[in-house]
Amino acid sequence: MKKYVFTPGPVPVPSEVLIEMAKPIIHHRTAEFEEIFAEVREGLKYIYNTAQEVFILSASGTGAMEASVVNTLSRGDKALVINSGKFGERWGKICRAYGVEVEEIMVDWGKEVDPAVIEKALSDDSSIKAVLTQASETSTGVKHPIKEISEITSKRDDVIHIVDGITGVGVFEIAFDEWGVDVLVGGSQKAFMLPPGLSFAAMSEKAWKFYETSDLPKFYFDFKPALKNAEKNTTTFTPAVTLIVGLAAVLRRFKSEGRENMHKRHARLALATREAMKAIGLEPFVQDTPSTALTTVIAPPEIGAAKVVAGLRDEFGITVAGGQDQAKGKIFRISHIGDIDKTDTLSIIAAIESVLNQLGYEFNFGAATKKASEILGTEL
């Protein structure tokens, strides 16, 4: 049985990228690699919409999350963490591991944070040095108002905005320079259509000022030597050469498509999936501000999400993600990132209908596929 991945990381990798990565390995201290690295540096700046350096780390996205903390904060600093899911929770765990005091804003799963709550917290407590949030909370599928939060932090010289954009960068607009984001994290196994193993981070000029006073331990993830080496088109330590070769191929594809068209592609696939599920009586977990990286669907309570996930796997070779913690058994998550197109999306929607029918769920069979076809056949 063929295998199909519709998880929000890892994601399907384009065949032409796999071919590039299958070529013989090259040494990272050569002119050949430096040329590739130079191309990648410029491509990442384009996707990040920034003039700043975008660092490439040989680590999963959590590595870049940790790096963003240790390169900006100090022991005893206070960070305001937006906890609306498993990855917001992770920000708190990273900060506490380094002795950073954490104040959490708890947000109901599936809901976006209210920027006014953040503004009030900063006004009430002048000791807060950073606001940490997700652009897209992968565990729930909610999208947070990054632009509005950055507008708040930009007015304060002593507060930075650190954003986990791992399922946001390349999916929807995040204008790093224009919006005043201070640190933005990305990951290879998401919209970048690569296997896991690389993560990315950009630092604003304000964030660099925080670096100068940061006293948290850093060695492998130290951005200052990374910047010095990047400007020479090389890396401080041995990089994940094969993944960077693949990244160059992906970035060429992205530049050819264009940022705006990338955002439209994800939005179209997400809209088609959400509306398809509604057409057969299934509600999205996120009602107001869904991320276009993935769609989280509430399974029929009488069936449960686990049976849907298992049915897709066993009957069609399709892997989707289930829910975590309080959403476990209640939702399943369908990805729109990676090498996924309209045909793939129609295929999984048809497969979901088939599985639900087998499980005894009563609905208008074919309505979801019909609705998705209508939406995918039109321009946004």
Q: How many domains does the chain have?
A: 2
Examine the domain organization and report whether 87 and 184 are in the same domain. Answer: yes
Residues 97 and 242 in one domain: yes
In a domain, 7, yes or no: no
Distance of CA 169 to the CA centre of its chain: 6
Residues 88 and 233 in one domain: yes
Same domain (yes/no): 332, 203: no
Q: What percent of the chain has pLDDT over 70?
A: 99
End-of-domain residue from the set 237, 256, 275: 256
Average pLDDT over residues 199-204: 98
Q: What is the pLDDT of residues 29-62, one digit of tens each?
A: 999 999 999 999 999 999 999 999 999 999 999 9
The residue out of 256, 284, 312 marking a domain boundary is: 256
Task: Tell me: do 293 and 317 sit in the same domain.
Answer: yes
Based on the domain organization, do 194 and 276 belong to the same domain? no
- Residues 358-370 pLDDT 10s: 999 999 999 999 9
DSSP letter string over 50-70?
Answer: -SS-EEEESS-HHHHHHHHHH
> If you search the block for the tokens 């309080």, which residue do you land on?
326
Whether residue 5 is contained in a domain is answered as no
Structure tokens at 93: 């765990």
- Verify that 207 and 222 share a domain, yes or no: yes
For the record, the structure tokens of 78 come out as 């206070």
Q: Give tens-digit pLDDT for 324-338.
A: 999 999 999 999 999
Give percent of the chain above pLDDT 90: 98
Amino acid at 249: A
246 domain residue, yes or no? yes
The pLDDT, as a whole number, for residue 378 is 79
Q: How confident is the model over 153-168, as a mean pLDDT?
A: 98
Position 102 in a domain: yes
Residue 4 lies in a domain: no
In-domain check, residue 74: yes
Same domain, 224 and 263: no
Stretch 256-283: mean pLDDT? 98
The per-residue b/e assignment along 80-97, b for 16 or more CB within 10 angstroms, e otherwise, is bbbbbbbbbbbbbebbee
CATH number at residue 353: 3.90.1150.10
Mean pLDDT, all residues of the chain: 97
Q: Which residues pair with 82 in a beta bridge?
A: 105
Q: Are 279 and 245 found together in one domain?
A: no
The mean per-residue pLDDT over the stretch 268-295 comes to: 97
Q: Do 159 and 121 form a contact (C-beta atoms < 8 A)? A: no
The counts of H helices and E strands in the chain are 14, 14
Residues 6+ apart with CB under 8 A from 110: 140, 141, 142, 285, 286, 287, 296
Q: Which pLDDT does position 379 carry in this prediction?
A: 67
- Is residue 167 predicted with pLDDT exceeding 70? yes
How far apart, in whole angstroms, are the C-alpha atoms of residue 106 and residue 103? 10
**In terms of residue numbers, what domain contains 40?**
15-256
pLDDT at 111: 97
Band (pLDDT 50/70/90 cuts) for residue 12 is very high
pLDDT digits (tens, 9 = 90+) for 55-88: 999 999 999 999 999 999 999 999 999 999 999 9
Do 181 and 209 sit in the same domain of this protein?
Answer: yes
Residue 13 has pLDDT above 60, yes or no: yes
Q: Are residues 188 and 282 in the same domain?
A: no
Residue 234 belongs to a domain: yes
> Does the CA dihedral 243-245-249-254 come out positive or negative?
positive
8 Å CB contact between 167 and 9: yes
Domain boundary among 256, 286, 301: 256
Do 240 and 292 sit in the same domain of this protein?
no
Contact 345, 372 (CB under 8 A): yes
For the cut 60, the answer to whether the pLDDT of residue 380 exceeds it is: no
Taking the model in full, what pTM does it have? 0.97
Tell me the CATH number at 132: 3.40.640.10
Mean pLDDT along residues 214-223: 98
